[in-house]
Structure 1
Amino acid sequence: MIQQEKMKVVRQQLVANHIYELTLEGSLTQQMNQPGQFVHLRVADSYEPTLRRPISIANIDQEAGQFTMLYRAGGRGTDVLSLKRAGDEVDVLGPLGNGFPVEETAPEETALLIGGGIGVPPLHELSKRLNARGVKTIHVLGFRSEKDVFYEEAFNKLGETYIVTEDGSSGHQGFVTTLIEEKKLAFDTFYTCGPTPMLRAIDHLFEGKKGFLSFEERMGCGIGACYACVCDTTDGGYKKVCSDGPVFPKGVVAL
């Protein structure tokens, strides 16, 4: 059930180059049951900036009533958000969208989780949920360079983890698809989130494989009313990333 709530900032810290980790507390956390969903944040009480900012959920702690997000600062709204400190409030709408279906991977099977940049965070909660089901997880996480890498230790605790950087300054050099082909990673289901070029490459690489892709799109309302985040589908129609997605089975979105 979607709720709107002014949630309290528990902590905020810089964890990589322009990447902030923000933890909020409030009753809305109890509605968060699917990894891969997102929230829509109003970063200020004024009318500037007007639109909310969509941010994915990286960690859910319902017992403590807290959830954590990671986001990249550098835009008008995210720069304002990065100034929030413990005790401040943030207006949150959520949880929104359809997340990753953990039930699609059976216990004792293997799931390959592939993230690129700011598409990495939602895979953390997903990996936790899969581990709890008895699923083995392998993580391939792509970044531009060493200064952009985050959550490597957190993913290592959940399963085999590979870091890939474009310049080779950390982990393996190249792209996530390069490493996957080199290592010949075996899996039953794949889950991925990241920029569209990465999703397109993975979609083509894993022809015939069962998988789920989470799309990043600019959004207006976040609830399917404004049609700002429409994407084309393979059957000639369209889907709204905010309400129909952001996670779609492989083969639904035209790439």
Structure 2
Amino acid sequence: MITQQQKIRQECMVIVEQKEIADSIFELTVEGALTEEMSAPGQFVHIRVADSYEPLLRRPLSVASIDFEHSRFTMIYRAEGRGTNLLAEKRAGDALDVLGPLGNGFPVDKAKSKAFLIGGGIGVPPLYELAKALNKKGIETVHILGFENKKSVFYEEQFRELGDTYIATVDGSHGTKGFVTHVLDRLPADFDTYFSCGPTPMLEAVQAAYPEKQGFLSYEQRMACGIGACFACVCRTTKSETDYVKVCSDGPVFAAGVVIS
């Protein structure tokens, strides 16, 4: 869960760059002191997408890459609703109200020598910063990434620079036809740890494929406040029928086998 030691800022950051990198997929880079508080890949930020009170709620965006030297970080998101479409209209030089960093990220120190990074759709972005962090520790990373089609694929070359990378598309227009599990079926399970982020059905399939492996999953629950106050993102755990966690503050990353989705 979010601890008192974890400092959360609300800052009016400056947009350095924004561009569309795939079909309705945008890469957004911002600059500001909030970057200094980021402590682990897999954390997220809460963005106010408009200067008015409509839309009222902030939008949670995962962090794809962190540049501490220049106090910048990059987010990748899909523009598919009113809030994210408004965000997609912003340009370099605009101000952006950002709350964060939020949540608990991936435990990089749990991997020993080789890790599988398994992502689906908009769950792919946080795995990029994770791959960089693992590579810095000398951990070999293998990336298995799933998308709807060729037009929605992004960061393929960036991941290839960090390790073996496999792409799956639902319609077979790029890489392996089907889901990430179709790629996993062909790969030897010669890794010690896996990290995964994406739709709940994908996370369930990955856990089922590797019941004996150490794994960590990042969940994409809908959330309102982002700090654990509103209880909009609660999930039941495997401990008991009355034990719950809040994905925004206790997660979004949990060890495999903890959350009942």
TM-score range, shorter chain: over 0.9
Amino acid at match of 1:82: A
**Alpha-carbon distance, 1:185 to partner:** 4.0
Amino acid at match of 2:30: L
Paired residue for 1:153? 157
Paired residue for 1:201? 205
Distance 2:190 2:75 in 1: 30
1:92 pairs, out of 73, 91, 98, with 98
Paired residue for 1:51? 57
> Does 2:246 correspond to 1:240?
yes
Distance 2:139 2:58 in 1: 35
Paired residue for 1:111? 115
**Alpha-carbon distance, 1:232 to partner:** 1.1
> Does 2:255 correspond to 1:249?
yes
Distance 1:227 1:62 in 2: 32
Preserved contact between residue 176 and residue 182 of structure 2 (Cα < 8 Å): no
Distance 1:188 1:174 in 2: 25
> Does 2:240 correspond to 1:216?
no
Deviation string 1:54-103 (CA, Å, 9 cap, x unpaired) is 00000000101100000000211101000000000110000000000000
Paired residue for 2:108? 102
Paired residue for 2:129? 125
Unaligned stretches of 5+ in structure 2? 1-6
Distance 2:217 2:259 in 1: 9
Runs of 4+ in 1 over 3 A off after TM superposition: none
Paired residue for 2:25? 19
TM-score (normalised: structure 1): 0.98
> Does 2:8 correspond to 1:2?
yes
Distance 1:16 1:233 in 2: 36
Q: How many residues align?
A: 253
> Does 2:147 correspond to 1:143?
yes
TM-score (normalised: structure 2): 0.96
> Does 2:177 correspond to 1:188?
no
Q: CA RMSD in A?
A: 0.7
Distance 1:7 1:181 in 2: 43
**Alpha-carbon distance, 1:33 to partner:** 1.7
Distance 2:177 2:188 in 1: 16
1:82 pairs, out of 82, 88, 109, with 88
Distance 1:124 1:96 in 2: 18
**Alpha-carbon distance, 1:235 to partner:** 1.3
